Amino acid sequence: MLELIALICAAVFIVWTPIEARRVAGGWVRARHKGTPEQFRIQYRKQLTLFIWVGIVLGLGNLGLTLLPGEDPARMAVKVVAGLLWLGAAGAAVYGRRVVDAAPR
């Protein structure tokens, strides 16, 4: 069940990150942020950097777990899909960071 939740979260993250990055690049700021849009952009970039590393670690970890002996093919397939989705989430974070960096200041 937890693997299913992780798969859904990674898929949503892949879709949502580029959308939100474009909004942040356009000057959007969360209502709870108490600073300037430039400060929010810097904070958001740091958050995307964290998501890049989390995606890489979880993606490679899931792909590495498929190499364990004695795994049944169904569980291996789920781990491969989860690994690829998390690597895709890292890629979406890289794309989002580029969009935020390219925004006019």
User: Judging by beta carbons within 10 Å of its beta carbon (0-12, 13-18, 19+), is residue 83 exposed, middle or buried?
Assistant: buried
Domain positions in the chain: 9-21+35-102
Cα–Cα distance for residue pair 7/19, rounded to 1 Å: 19
Q: How do residues 20-76 score in pLDDT, each as one tens digit?
A: 999 999 999 998 999 899 999 999 999 999 999 999 999 999 999 998 888 889 889
Q: What is the pLDDT of residue 104?
A: 82
Q: What is the pLDDT of residue 71?
A: 81
Question: Could you tell me the pTM of the whole model?
Answer: 0.90
